[in-house]
Chain A
Amino acid sequence: MGIPVSGKNLFPSNIAGLPTWFTIRANKDGWIARRKEIDFLIAMNAETAREDVLNLDPNRIVVYEETLKLNQYRKDLSFFPVPFAKLATQITPDSRLRKLLANMIYVGVVGELLEIDPNEMDLALTKQFKGKAKAVALNKTALDIGRKFAAENFDKTSVIYKTQRMNATKGKIIIDGNAAGALGCMFAGVTVATWYPITPSSSLCERLSDYMKDYRIEKDGKANFAIVQAEDELAAVGMAIGAGWAGARSVTSTAGPGISLMQEFIGLAYYAEIPVVIFDITRVGPSTGLPTRTQQSDILSMVYCSHGDTKHIVLLPASVEECFSMGYDAFDLSERFQTPVFVMSDLDLGMNNWMSDPFVYPKKKFDRGKVLSAEDLKRLGSFQRYGDVDGDGIPYRTLPGTNHPAAAYFTRGSGHNENAVYSERPDDYKRNMDRLNHKYETSRTYVPQPEVNDAKGARVGFLAFGTTHWAIIESLDQLKREYDMPVSYYRLRALPFTKDLVEFFERHDRVYVVEQNRDGQMAMLVKLELPAELISKLRNIRHYSGIPIDARFVTDELIAAEKGEQN
């Protein structure tokens, strides 16, 4: 139908049997962030139906299993009871199948009520069950039965929502963030991927495995990659680091608890300067937290991962397209800077399906970083593993297996000098730490730069990152239309910050950092970055209940805060 749409799965941390919700948002303006209010409820679960009905605003629609008798709870809603169990008996004698087909019956009912073109629905059905003729037939019967029942029994005049054909989805794809990230890795030429299963990260390496089997097996049947499901996260990151040390593009993917486990190894990779890419698909913490809910609360854990003075590059994709392109960039950055690079996605982005323009093929050469070959060494005669030759803080390295007497050096997590020789000398240690810092400073101009939009006449601005973006842009629209309030928007796309940050603060009276965690972790980092005189402009809006942030929340918080400022 060409209507922009988004879907979000709200599921419990359980394998089977507990209630889940799937929310579809469709609107002509293309807003895809979560919306607090539900307009059309399809209630199939006895345990949760009553509460869901009680939470609706007036005049909303409820399609429900007739036997639940939901119409007893409210008088101001439009109820559409459907005898799913009875209708399903018309399709098949198999009782197990009947339960499943009830879902397709309500799809038919809803399609009829919302006037979704039946042909489009049939097309979608055929695509969904591609190749399985029996399944298509069964489900089509269910669809038809639902449509017929609704047409014959329901008065549609109270259904205040209708679909109308648009042209907003032509050529678009639907994909989840983890699959997009996996594609980014594959097209970046990753050769070693290691992982340990954890919600919501597992599907990244699982999809990578599927894609690699299709596209990275050579003519002789051998794989030009290795994917290993490790025994735990420590082993996963350790293998990835060992591979990176030996020169391979390597990746591991995990969530918050895994990051905690990986800390020691990440500190080693930082200090010994070894490339590795780490995806953190963040979820609600702390500890086991809410494994199936979303949050952006690993920011400090990633930026300062490991004890001692460590600082890491963190990429902040906001869309599936950025999961792909930043997933790709992470490898260039990691090898260029000889350091761990984090890609921070979250459960909302990683596990839900998002609409996107098709991904663009990366047409540039891989940046494998400063690696000296045997030929280089023949020419140079020698090299210093941790020397700052080019002034950017980034040294040169050789790979094990290089056939030259000057190639080998000893890598260690303990103090070392420019020649990688063990050293406890204060001057060696400090010089090395300063060089590592200088390397980090250099990365400011290499990481994805922010997208900065100054609104005309705006005195305040938002600073946000990751999936908060979708709530922000909708909120900006609400603020303009409902409050006539222009607000600028700084979309942060990576850490470390660039000089744009300070300049943005200079141009506005107040900047609201909007983020999905309790303690305002990004606001803390912004504060550290700002000169003293600008810190007073910093504000913070935090959403951290585990469900994705919505635009109305942002708008209400901003309005309330700004009202407070005027007093």
Chain B
Amino acid sequence: MSTTMQPPTPLKHTNRLGYTLADYKGGDSTLCAGCGHDAITAQIIKAFYEYGVEPYRVAKLSGIGCSSKTPAYFLSHAHGFNGVHGRMPALATGVMLANQTLISIGVSGDGDTASIGMGQFVHLLRRNVPMIYIIENNGVYGLTKGQFSATADLGSKSKSGVSNDLPAIDVCAMAIELGCNFVARSFAGDVKQMIALLKAGLGHRGTALFDVISPCVTFNNHEGSTKSYKYAKDHEELLHDISYVPFFEQITVDYPDGEAKDVELHDGSHIRLRKTDKGYDPTNKTEALNSLRKCQESNEFLTGLIYINEQNPDFLTLLNTVDAPLATLPQERVQPNEEALREIMADLM
């Protein structure tokens, strides 16, 4: 009899833990067909499956908004908490304080994070709470949305001709400045990049921030929508993965490292994505900020893993709490004994 143990041959179509992809799925999306958020959802499912995370150990947090609805569409075997607008960071922090064995994923939008949620977002990053934090960013990039978000480009015009006079918030640059140790940007339609980044995020102990540009299909109710339909038909070559066949199809992209990709959004406007090239050093904070700035100046969005630092402690390490979940510590462990009370009382006499 051999004394060495052979690892069991993995069953077909299961991950290293023995789960199937179906175990990571959630309910049906009620978002508009073609919504970028649904693409992100699919990538989350795939990334968690491929990385090998037990679904029951995941906690899904979100704020309020279209993106915040998505936790219902993935990992139905994980507890989810759709909170209040802009306050998901506080909830997520509390969850991790109570049980640091959970793997938290927070889903938010540009309004939820960069407008009402700006305060909590900043402090979450400072604390470095261990979690994946995804901003499903459909802010205005020369789009014709009704309201601008805080990430809207300066000078972009709404359909009615109103111009945005306020500078855009670059959440990635801000996050790096605030001490975030994992800052990534991607595009909802870049399946390869997203999944790779998500898996990297799962391996990172601390806040892993994802700014994901996620085009909105429903930003105007005018006849202009037929223009979008026409656009989708004209740009079939962009679609590498035809898993959806709605009126508005997902915009997907795939382009090499170091290169720029011009992407036309549903309303006919353009954004330009530039991938960090192979020689890019994401551990260099200065280079990261400079690269972001350079791309901004050429009206491009830098995508990829922009900055990473594996040295800094996460919030729970700083608090030096016991490893076991605080939530379920038994009474004997958390209730000081009668002698302790006697001692305290004696001191007050």
Q: Which residues of A contact B (CB under 8 A)?
A: 171-175, 183, 186-192, 194, 211, 215-216, 218, 221-226, 228, 230-232, 234-250, 264-265, 268, 358-359, 361, 365-366, 398-405, 407-414, 422
Contacts and interface: CB of A to CB of B under 8 A. Distances in A.
Nearest to A247: B327
Contact of A411 (B81, B326, B333, B335): B81
Contact of A414 (B57, B82, B90): B82
Interface of B: 54-57, 59, 61, 71-72, 76-84, 87, 89-95, 97-99, 101-102, 119-120, 122-123, 316, 319-323, 325-329, 331, 333-336, 338, 340-342, 344-345, 348-349
8 contacts: A172-B349, A224-B334, A228-B319, A242-B91, A242-B94, A399-B99, A401-B102, A410-B82
Contacts of A183: 341, 344
Report whether over half of chain B's contact residues are helix, strand or loop; otherwise say mixed: helix
Contact of B90 (A222, A238, A365, A410): A238
A188 B329 CA distance: 12
B96 to A, nearest CB: 8
Contacts, number: 218
List 10 tightest A-B contacts by C-beta distance, closest first: A242-B94, A238-B90, A247-B327, A248-B98, A246-B98, A400-B79, A189-B334, A239-B94, A242-B91, A191-B326
Contacts of A224: 321-322, 326, 329, 333-334
Given A192-B326, A243-B97, A247-B98, A175 B348 contact: yes
A194 B91 CA distance: 12
Nearest to B122: A231
A398 B80 CA distance: 12
A242 B90 contact: yes
Given A191-B329, A192-B326, A221-B320, A413 B99 contact: no
A531 B326 CA distance: 46
Contacts of A414: 82
B336 A186 contact: yes
Contacts of A236: 90
B348 A174 contact: yes
B90 A243 contact: no
Given A222-B322, A223-B322, A359-B345, A231 B119 contact: yes
Chain B CB within 10 A, most for which of A224, A238, A246: A246
A192 B331 CA distance: 15
A243 B82 contact: no
Given A239-B97, A408-B76, A408-B78, A248 B326 contact: yes
A487 B333 CA distance: 48
Given A192-B94, A243-B97, A407-B56, A248 B327 contact: yes
Given A265-B84, A405-B77, A408-B79, A242 B98 contact: yes
B334 A401 contact: no
Nearest to B87: A238
